[in-house]
């Protein structure tokens, strides 16, 4: 199943929006952090994990999802949040710690929650697995439509909770898909240092479910594989595991010196940047004209500018509001 023209435009638009958003965040992140870089300073403090290069995974999967489907994401969530349709104004405001943010500034960039589109993320590795499996269970028990997708990094598959959740999803035949973003690194630890096998898709065999590895950080191939897995889940045929090769073009977090990368790795990855690659393909196949793509790029940039403006101009969170919302109202 190849993406339609509209789906391809949608994928390209979301990839570009995500990239522009992160470029904007990256620039603002350094405000107030020079000459001496101190993570605590500036309009966006704290850790910042960018997803530049990983956009194909987000759009290839989320192209098949509707707002009612559930997504859990990780400490590196922006591309998935955008592809899932999280409110960009409120997301930006949350990252700035503003009152108008998704959580009024309580969560921050690793804790984005948008109930309108059933999106959540969190900062501890493999932590989204259980909640996604639980959402899939809930849909099944309530007889409500929808599937649940847990995005994790390739480092997460070595976490005990990952295996427990996979087995639970399989033994209960739940509408669940685990999508592993294999960017080759868990901070400074290379995949081959941490994992005993090359393709984590092979681990699906341990749960008796389909597993597939998609090479090349290719939004089209990811779209196709995700389409099959999600259709299977919607049809009540149970969970699947996908591992997508992808590229982390940025450091693990902003400020990471990346000395652990082999020489030349970064340059080689930039050569394979998926966004210009998709642009070329759209043009080559005649699925989009230069004018179409220019429009998409301009609109994406405008959307991001508006979100950043909204965030900047919003009021800071009120200090004493830190004490509210601990329990449900």
Partner 1 sequence: MTKSNERKLTIARAMAEATAQEMRIDPSVFVMGEDIGPLGGVYGNTRGLIEEFGAERIRDTPISETAFIGAAVGAAQDGMRPVVELMFVDFFGVCFDAIYNLMAKNIYFSGGNVKVPMVLMTSTGGGYSDGGQHSQCLYGTFAHLPGMKVVAPSNAYDAKGLMTAAMRDDSPVVYMYHKGLQGMGWLGTEAGATVHVPEEPYTLEIGKAKVVREGKDVSIVSVGMGVHNALKAAKKLEEQGVSAEVVDLVSLVPLDRDTIRASVAKTGRLIVVDEDYMSYGLSGEIIASVTEHDISVLKAAPKRVAFPDVPIPFARVMEQFCLPNPDKIVAAWDEMQAA
Ligand X SMILES: Cc1ncc(C[n+]2csc(CCOP(=O)(O)OP(=O)(O)O)c2C)c(N)n1
Choose between 246 and 300: whose C-beta lies nearer to partner 1.
246
Site for ligand X (CB under 6 A): which residue of 101, 155, 175, 211? 155
Which CB sits closer to partner 1, 63 or 129? 129
Q: What is residue 177's DSSP assignment?
A: E
Q: Which is nearer to partner 1, 161 or 184 (CB)?
A: 161
Burial of 240 (0-12, 13-18, 19+ CB in 10 A): buried
> Is position 125 an interface residue for partner 1 (rule: CB under 8 A)?
yes
75 scored as a contact of ligand X (CB under 6 A): yes
Residue with tokens 């309530």: 142
Instruction: Indicate whether 90 belongs to the interface with ligand X (CB under 6 A).
Output: no
Stretch that binds Mg ion, among 65-73, 123-131, 180-188, 256-264 (CB under 5 A): 180-188
Q: Which x/- pattern, by CB under 5 A, does the window 141-170 give for Mg ion? A: ------------xxx---------------
Does 123 bind partner 1 (CB under 8 A)? Our answer is yes
Please name which of 119, 272, 118 lies closest in space to residue 184, comparing C-alpha atoms: 272
Which residues in 104-133 contact ligand X (CB under 6 A)? Answer: 123-125
* Choice from 60, 134, 186, 251 touching ligand X (CB under 6 A): 186
- Joined tokens for residue 234: 């919607």
Distances (CA, A) of 246 to 11, 282, 288: 16, 20, 24
Q: Least distance from C-beta 186 to partner 1, angstroms? A: 6
Nearer residue to partner 1 within complex by CB, 13 or 109: 109
DSSP 128: T
76 interface partner picked from ligand X, Mg ion, partner 1, none, CB below 5 to 8 A per type: ligand X
Structural contact between residues 239 and 233, judged by C-beta atoms closer than 8 angstroms: yes
Radius of gyration over alpha carbons of the chain, in Å? 19
The count of residues in the chain is 329
Tell me which stretch binds ligand X (CB under 6 A): 143-151, 152-160, 218-226, 269-277. Answer: 152-160
Burial 250-280 (b: 16+ CB within 10 A, else e): bbbebeeeeeebeeeebeebeeebbbebbbe
**Of 4, 27, 31, 189, the one binding partner 1 by CB under 8 A:** 189
- Applying CB under 8 A, among 3, 53, 107, 210 the residue interacting with partner 1 is 107
206 touches partner 1 by CB under 8 A: no
- If we measure between CA atoms, which residue out of 180, 125, 179 comes closest to residue 149? 179
Q: Strand order in 113-114's β-sheet?
A: 113-114, 119-121, 70-73, 148-153, 176-182, 240-245, 211-214
Residue 177: half-sphere exposure toward Cβ, Cα within 13 Å: 30
Q: Which residues bind ligand X (CB under 6 A)?
A: 75-76, 123-125, 153-156, 183, 185-187, 252
Q: Which residues bind partner 1 (CB under 8 A)?
A: 36-41, 45-47, 94, 97-98, 101, 104-111, 122-126, 155-156, 158-161, 186-189, 193-195, 255, 259-260, 316-323, 326
Q: Which residues bind Mg ion (CB under 5 A)?
A: 153-155, 183, 185-186
């Amino acid at each position: 199943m190849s993406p339609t023209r509209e789906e391809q435009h949608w994928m390209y638009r979301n990839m570009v929006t995500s990239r522009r958003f992160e470029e904007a965040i990256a620039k603002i992140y350094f405000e107030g952090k020079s000459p001496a870089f101190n993570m605590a300073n500036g309009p966006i403090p704290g850790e910042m994990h960018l997803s530049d290069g990983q956009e194909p995974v987000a759009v290839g999967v989320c192209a098949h999802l509707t707002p009612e489907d559930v997504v859990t994401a990780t400490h590196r969530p922006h591309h998935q949040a955008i592809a899932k349709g999280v409110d960009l104004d409120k997301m930006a405001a949350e990252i700035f710690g503003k009152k108008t943010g998704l959580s009024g500034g309580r969560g921050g960039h690793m804790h984005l929650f948008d109930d309108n589109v059933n999106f959540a993320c969190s900062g501890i590795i493999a932590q989204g697995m259980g909640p996604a499996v639980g959402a899939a269970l809930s849909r099944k028990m309530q007889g409500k439509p929808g599937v649940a997708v847990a995005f994790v990094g390739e480092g997460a598959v070595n976490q005990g909770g990952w295996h427990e959740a996979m087995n639970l999803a399989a033994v209960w035949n739940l509408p669940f898909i685990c999508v592993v973003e294999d960017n080759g690194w868990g901070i400074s630890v290379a995949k081959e240092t941490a994992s005993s096998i090359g393709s984590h898709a092979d681990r699906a065999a341990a749960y008796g479910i389909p597993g597939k590895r998609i090479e090349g950080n290719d939004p089209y191939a990811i779209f196709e594989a995700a389409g099959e897995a999600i259709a299977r889940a919607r049809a009540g045929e149970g969970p699947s595991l996908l591992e997508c090769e992808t590229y982390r073009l940025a450091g693990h977090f902003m400020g990471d010196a990346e000395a652990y990368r082999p020489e030349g790795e970064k340059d080689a990855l930039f050569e394979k940047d998926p966004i210009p690659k998709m642009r070329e393909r759209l043009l080559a196949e005649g699925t989009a004209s230069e004018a179409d793509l220019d429009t998409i790029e301009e609109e994406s940039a405008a959307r991001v500018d508006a979100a950043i403006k909204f965030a900047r101009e919003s009021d800071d969170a009120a200090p004493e509001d830190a004490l509210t919302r601990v329990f449900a109202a």
